[in-house]
Amino acid sequence: MPGIDECLYEAMTLPGARGAAIVDWTSGLALGSVGDSPNGDYEATAAETAEVARAAAEYQAFAPVEDPDADGLGLGLDGAADADEDAEGLDHKGLPVEDLMLTTRTGFHLIRYVETTFDSSVFLYLWLDRHSGNLAMARIRLRSLAERLVLV
């Protein structure tokens, strides 16, 4: 299980990776960073991405509060099982948002929330070059990194 440095260096092995950071979204502070920053200042980038991450996680437009018993059956409107349960019936009561993607003319910006045993206020940030990066692969690898990341 990788720590912060190992996690960031592994993220930078992705094709097109320009920079990566692990950020606390409540304070806006980078716990670690590697590579380049889109604006040349990792502290500013951490604070700015934390604002985006916080908005997505807290605003109901992005992460609506679901009432699992709204229809009296514990099923969603389409008859599917509750959103907090996966195919095996395991309960997932963590963050309502998994990841965010922002695309620009020159790059991809990915934010992957990390669920922790304490307050789950950390995310992985990855900046990819649009022409040489692979967005699908990056999402898969960031999910794996977030699941294996050990924060002590």
Domains, the chain, in order of start with CATH, read: 4-62+97-148 (3.30.450.30)
Distance CA 113, CA 99 (A): 6
Q: How confident is the model at residue 3 (pLDDT cuts 50, 70, 90)?
A: confident
Chain segment 43-85, per-residue pLDDT in tens: 999 999 999 998 888 888 877 766 555 544 444 444 444 444 4
Is the pLDDT at 127 greater than 50? The verdict is yes
CA distances from 100 to 78, 111, 112 (A): 25, 5, 7
Is the pLDDT at 97 greater than 90? The verdict is no
Mark out the alpha helices in the chain (DSSP H runs). 4-11, 42-58, 135-148
Mean pLDDT to the nearest integer, 14-36: 94
Tokens 């206020």 — which residue?
A: 121
- Residue partners of 103: CB distance under 8 A and separation at least 6: 109, 130
With the CA atoms of 12, 17, 22 and 27 taken in that order, what torsion angle do they form, in degrees rounded to the nearest 10? 160
93 touches 84 (CB < 8 A): yes
74 touches 67 (CB < 8 A): no
pTM listed for this prediction: 0.78
pLDDT score recorded for residue 109? 96
Give the other-Cβ count within 10 Å of 65's Cβ: 6
